[in-house]
Amino acid sequence: VTLELGGKSPMIIFDDANIETAVNTARAGLFLNQGQVCTASSRIFVHESIHDKFVAAMVQNAQGINVGGYDEKDIDQGPQVDKIQFLKVLGYIEKGIEEGATLRLGGHRHGNKGYFIEPTIFTDVKDDMVIAKEEIF
């Protein structure tokens, strides 16, 4: 089944989902290639009955993402493609905070050189917020 849910590559997690499987699938869908994929699952809709459990598990899982250059050992997430994309992503993070989304994880530059951004998770995102409507990559 294919559903059109307004773009931004949404993922839907139902109440009967296995949380561990859902988190691992969401991690791959969102953080693969630093989210620089047109099909990145940048919006995740979670059934309210498992929402809090899923968010807690997702945050814990994402805290384990190792950020750095791919020439380093055991790296899960590399840099943004260039300075333009790096600044664009940081701008969207700031916009999400300004518009009232809850920053649950990350949201900052990782390290002090290169175009690395911490794995970032927002909750309480409303449909009219920029981060819900605009394609980040």
CA distance 97 to 93: 6
Residue with tokens 């819900």: 132
38 in catalytic set: yes
CA distance 137 to 116: 15
Catalytic residue among 20, 38, 48, 118: 38
Catalytic residue among 4, 48, 94, 118: 4
Cβ neighbours of residue 9 closer than 8 Å, sequence gap 6 or more: 29, 38, 39, 40, 41, 42, 43
Residues tagged active-site = 4, 38
